Amino acid sequence: MSVGAWNVRGLNKSVKQKEVIDVIRCNNLGICAVIESHVKILNLKSVCAKTFGQWDWISNNNSCEAGTRIIVGWNPRLFDVILLSQSKQVIHCYVKLCNSDLGMYLSFIYAASNYIERRLLWDNLKKHSLVVNREAWGLLGDFNVAIKPSEYSESCSRTPKGVEDFVDCLSFIEVEDLKSYGFQFTWNKTPMGNMGLLKKLDRVMVNQKFMTNHPLAHAVFKPYRNSDHCPAILNFPSNKVKWKPSFRFANFISEKEEFLPLVKELKILKKHCREMCNKYWGAGKRIQKLRKDLECKQQDIDNNPFDCKIREEHANILLDFNIACNDEEKILAQRAKIKWLQDGDNNSKFFHKIVKSRGINNRI
């Protein structure tokens, strides 16, 4: 099983929702916390339905002044999740595997940017440690503070405000970073030339009982994709038939600048329209290839924070990636009608059943 937490900086856009869905699928997550979602209470139900599908979910909307800060979704066939308490900066849960006695405490965190306000979170964690009472406990999310100079791409001459408060809290609740691999810097400030700054703000921390119960557990920090934070994945270690689709004209390629010249020059368009469709359609390999390129460039930035050329290449790939995601959404809307996009997640089993059904009915 795997548990994830990702600061996506807004979940209202379908592009962000689809990236969360892909992170859940690629990492086989049974629980996923979305941090800094900014979803208003009126939109919360529809956004969570699109993002989590048939999963159950909870949020700390009641503790937030403007927009939801933390949403936690889980697969009810795998986990029983009990909400213990919540605040503006944390959701505390007790998680138990279905049909098993194995359980643990999990806290999903989105710490405030101001170190004085973060003190409320540290006090909350200290009080919750009394509830945990030496049972297995894991903490995931954005702590908004780096501890050591090595956690900055640009070393600091003095200790930033708030670090001592964080260290004191960790000592009191007796947790530490779980062994991990992947990105060393989990936050990327929007780069401007060579002025970009990288920090380790996202963490997966556990207590001694957790490490005793799960000695093989480890954390992975994946590429941040179209966010500025890396997804934090907590892992617990445990041939499809190729189908060639029939030709269909995709309306969205008519918006591309090379389409009209192609129509004027060619009489037989089927082959060339298919090539254009495959070139831009994300349902093929384009989004997957761009996502892979994006992850490679983000890894290069993590290793070489001040290389302007790499940052420029990353920006170009990110632009192409977002365009490809929008193209995919347009063709899905064409195939299944916009009504289904409004009613449910365009990547759910229900959605694809509708697409297949329409394809069968329209087949000659």
Considering only residues 227 and 274, tell me which one the structure prediction assigns the higher pLDDT: 227
Is residue 8, in this structure, part of any structural domain at all? yes
User: Is pLDDT of 285 > 80?
Assistant: no
- The confidence score (pLDDT) of residue 176 equals 94
Dihedral sign (CA 50, 52, 55, 60): negative
Residue 348: band (very low, low, confident or very high) from pLDDT cuts 50, 70, 90: low
CA–chain centroid gap for 171, Å, is 29
Shared domain for 140 and 200, answered yes or no, is: yes
Whether 246 is covered by a domain: the verdict is no
Residue 141 has pLDDT above 50, yes or no: yes
- pLDDT classification of 354: cutoffs 50, 70, 90: low
Tell me the mean pLDDT in the region 353-364.
54
Task: Give the strand order in the sheet containing 90-97.
Answer: 79-86, 90-97, 103-110, 137-142, 202-207, 175-177
Mean pLDDT over 250-257 rounds to 83
- If asked whether residues 226 and 287 sit together in one domain, one would say no
Same domain, 92 and 157: yes
Quick one: pLDDT at residue 246? Answer: 67
Residue 122: name the closest of 71, 175, 80, 78 by CA.
175
Domain end marker among 204, 235, 266? 235
- What is the average per-residue pLDDT within 231-239? 86
Whether residue 42 is found in the same domain as residue 78: yes
| Predicted pLDDT at 130 | 95
Mean per-residue pLDDT, 39-43? 92
For residue 244, is it within any domain? no
Can you read off the two tokens belonging to residue 200? 């380790």
Question: Are residues 208 and 265 both part of a single domain?
Answer: no
User: What's the domain range around 276?
Assistant: 251-362
Confirm whether 108 is domain-assigned. yes
Considering the domain architecture, whether residues 209 and 60 belong to the same structural domain is answered as: yes
Confidence of residue 156 (pLDDT cuts 50, 70, 90): low
Residue 212 and residue 266 in one domain: no
Whether the predicted pLDDT of 71 surpasses 50 = yes
If one compares 333 and 112, the residue with the highest pLDDT of the two is 112
Output the pLDDT for position 124: 97
90 part of a folded domain: yes
What pLDDT, on a 0 to 100 scale, did the predictor assign at position 240? 42
Number of domains in the chain: 2
Residue predicted with more confidence, 329 or 322: 322
Residue 245 lies in a domain: no
Q: Directed axis angle between helix 286-303 and helix 270-280, to 10°? A: 30
Domain identity same for 231 and 273: no
Among 235, 262, 283, identify where a domain stops.
Answer: 235
CATH code assigned at 177: 3.60.10.10
230 plus 265 within the same structural domain: no
Q: Mark whether 311 and 210 lie in a shared domain.
A: no
Which of 211, 235, 259 is the last residue in one of the domains?
235
Does pTM top 0.75 for this prediction? no
Contact 136, 203 (CB under 8 A): no
Q: Sorting pLDDT into bands at 50, 70 and 90, what band is 153? A: confident
Same domain membership, residue 160 and residue 135: yes
78 & 107 share domain: yes
Q: Work out the percent of the chain whose per-residue pLDDT is above 70.
A: 83
Q: What is the model's pLDDT at position 239?
A: 43
Query: Residues near 123 by Cβ (< 8 Å), separated by ≥ 6?
Result: none
Residue 241 lies in a domain: no
Residue 361 has pLDDT above 60, yes or no: no
